[in-house]
Amino acid sequence: MDIIFNNPFRVLGLNAFASGRDLTKRTSDLETFAEFGKTKTYPNDFEFLAPFDRNLDSIKEASRKIESNEGKFFHSFFWFISHDSVDELALECLEARNVDKACELWTDQINKKSQAKFSWLLNRTVLQFINSNQNSFDKVIFDRALEDLGCLLDDYWDEVKEIVLGGSSKLDHFQVLKNIVDHILLYIETLDSKPYGLGGAQLLYEFSSFPSAAQDYVELKIFNPLIDEIQSSIEKSRAYRLDQDHLDLELELIVTNHLDEFDSLIYELDEFSENYKIKAIINDYVEEIRLLSIFVHNELKDNKGALWLINRAIELPSYSPVRADVEEAKFKLDQLFEEAEKEQLYTTVFSELNQKLTSLPEAQIRLNLFKKELSKIPNKDEYYLSVSSICVNHILNFMIDAFNNAVDNQNLNRNINNLHSVAKQVCNITAQLSSFSMDAETKTRFNNNFNTIKSELSSIESIKNQVSRNENSSITSESGKFELPWWVWIVGFCLLLAMCKG
């Protein structure tokens, strides 16, 4: 952390409570040494902790940084201060490179006292900040340093101000808090490991010991850029949806460019959804995914892509009324895709149902096809029952028509053998329909008609047998054509009437 490693008090070799006169004299002395190419050292430089520059430019810069009350007070929180014998002893341990011992001395004193001295807490804070970044970033130590710093700013503000500036000095309280928060956040942004999440939102928890004004400012500093970034992605996605020139773009290009990198961040921000701005941007983000799903389904005709998007939306956190809209869209898409999948399974069946039957052999072939295709369906649900019933009615309707047509032909041609042949085929094919699944209405209709067909076939067979027995005594008309007895035509008429009712 540059705010510590190149702290102005460290560069000038001064304590934070150095007077203005001491500051001026020290700056002049160090500039003189620097102009002659010499470097002055001091007991509390602690170069082994981290290197720093004490050249002419850095000396002038350090002096400038602590000219104002705000600057001096701000930087006083980020370098060691010797205020009592405990501090002196601990700093001597640091000079001897015994870092653990120095930290132990300050910690022991802090734990012993109900109200620790500000210098013990400040010095431990600085040391913990340094220790958190010795080799790689140590989040645990850094969090402890933040907790100590927050306590200093909240509970020891006036005491530190009295020591560093004198009680009557004017000071912009909020400006100092802002500077401290800004430097900490800037440092966190430089960490590749992203220890506090993609947007640093988790860092908010570590500022719980800070004054409320600082916590509010942290929220603004962390949330506003994240909200702006997410809003930008939403607007780009919306532009693609509304621009007709982009209808030929693949879903992957749209999503990859604008909506594929924020899901994790949305989950992180959801922990802070009591903030109305956070809740609003989460809803806006999820709503855009819902609308994009509809767009992909309706315009790009990409069913899989639409389902993938709505599944993302349903998994993400969202709030009323957006939540209800997403759930409704998910339900509707699931229904559409379920129906589409079913239609795909029944493609052959539906295709054959649209073809008109023209003969009994063709009806037999189609019945066999229906049976084969329906046997492939894995889920024998209500939809299956409905389709199977339609197949039964499709064949049954033709059977009734074929039988009635045969009766009509019998009345015209008086050929009992042809009527018997058709009736027997109709009965055999109709019997095969009994193996199909049927709904209650279709089952009742099938049973009624099948019973009628069997009954009429039995009657026709009786007539046929009677005709055969009386063949030798048949009456021949003047024209020489064969004529049946009068009662045969009455039976035929009854048959026709019965089949028409079916």
Other beta carbons within 10 angstroms of residue 469's beta carbon come to 9
Under DSSP, the state recorded for 96 is T
Instruction: Give tens-digit pLDDT for 1-38.
Output: 889 999 999 999 998 888 889 999 999 999 999 888 88
What are φ and ψ of residue 470, in 5° steps?
A: -100, 10
- 38: phi > 0 → left, psi -120 to 50 → alpha, else beta; which? beta
CB atoms within 10 A of CB 265: 18
Phi, psi at residue 84, to the nearest 5°?
A: -155, -175
Mapping DSSP onto H, E and C, the string for 365-395 reads HHHHHHHHHHHCCCCCCHHHHHHHHHHHHHH
Using N-to-C axis directions, what is the helix angle for 486-501 and 382-413, rounded to 10°? 160
453 within 8 A of 399, measured Cβ to Cβ: yes
pLDDT in tens, 384-420: 999 999 999 999 999 999 998 888 887 665 678 888 8
- Please give the Cα distance from 399 to 457 (Å, whole number): 13
86 has a pLDDT exceeding 90: yes
Residue 399 burial (10 A CB sphere; 0-12, 13-18, 19+): buried
Structure tokens at 89: 């002893």
Phi, psi of 476 (to 5 degrees): -105, 130
180 in Cβ contact with 149 (< 8 Å): yes
Q: Please say whether the dihedral angle defined by the alpha carbons of residues 199, 203, 204 and 205, taken in this order, is positive or negative.
A: positive
The Cβ-side half-sphere exposure at 492, using a 13 Å CA radius, reads 23
This prediction's pTM: 0.67
Give the C-alpha separation, 483 to 496, whole Å.
19
Q: In the structure encoding, which two tokens stand for residue 146, read together?
A: 């933040």
Looking at residues 451-470, what average pLDDT do you find?
85
Separation of alpha carbons 389 and 393, rounded Å? 6
- The answer to whether the beta carbons of residues 95 and 46 sit under 8 Å apart is yes
Q: Which of 164, 129, 136 is nearest to 4 (CA)?
A: 129
User: Which residues sit opposite 483 in a β-bridge?
Assistant: 475
Q: Give the pLDDT confidence score for residue 253 in this predicted structure.
A: 52
- Helix or strand (DSSP H, E) at 483: strand 482-483
Token pair 């035929």 in the structure block, residue: 492
Q: 276-298 and 263-270 are packed helices; what angle lies between their axes, rounded to 10 degrees? A: 150
The predicted-structure confidence for 110-168, as pLDDT tens digits, reads as follows: 998 778 899 999 999 999 999 998 888 999 999 999 999 999 999 999 999 999 998 67
Collapsing DSSP to helix, strand or coil, 272 comes out as coil
pLDDT digits (tens, 9 = 90+) for 34-73: 888 888 899 889 999 888 999 999 999 999 999 999 999 9
Minimal CA–CA distance to 326: which of 376, 281, 363, 289?
Answer: 289
Reduced to 3 states (helix: H, G, I; strand: E, B; else coil), residue 476 is strand
Range 202-228 burial, b when 16+ CB lie within 10 A, else e: bbbebbebbbeebbebbbebbbeebbe
Proportion of the chain above pLDDT 70, given as a percent:
89
Contacts of 479 (CB under 8 A, 6+ apart): none
The β-bridge relationship of strands 482-483 and 475-476 is antiparallel
Q: Which helix (H) or strand (E) holds 475?
A: strand 475-476
> Is the pLDDT assigned to residue 347 strictly greater than 70?
yes
pLDDT for residue 250? 57
Distance CA 283, CA 119 (A): 47
Handedness of CA 59, 61, 67, 68 (dihedral sign): negative
Average pLDDT over every residue of 435-460:
93
pLDDT(247) > 50: yes
Query: CA-CA distance, 389 to 377, in Å (whole number)?
Result: 14
CB distance 342 to 383 below 8 Å = yes
Asked whether residue 496 carries a pLDDT value surpassing 80, the answer given is no
Are 11 and 54 spatial neighbours (Cβ–Cβ below 8 Å)? Answer: yes
More confident residue, 228 or 476: 228
Question: What pLDDT score does 396 carry?
Answer: 95
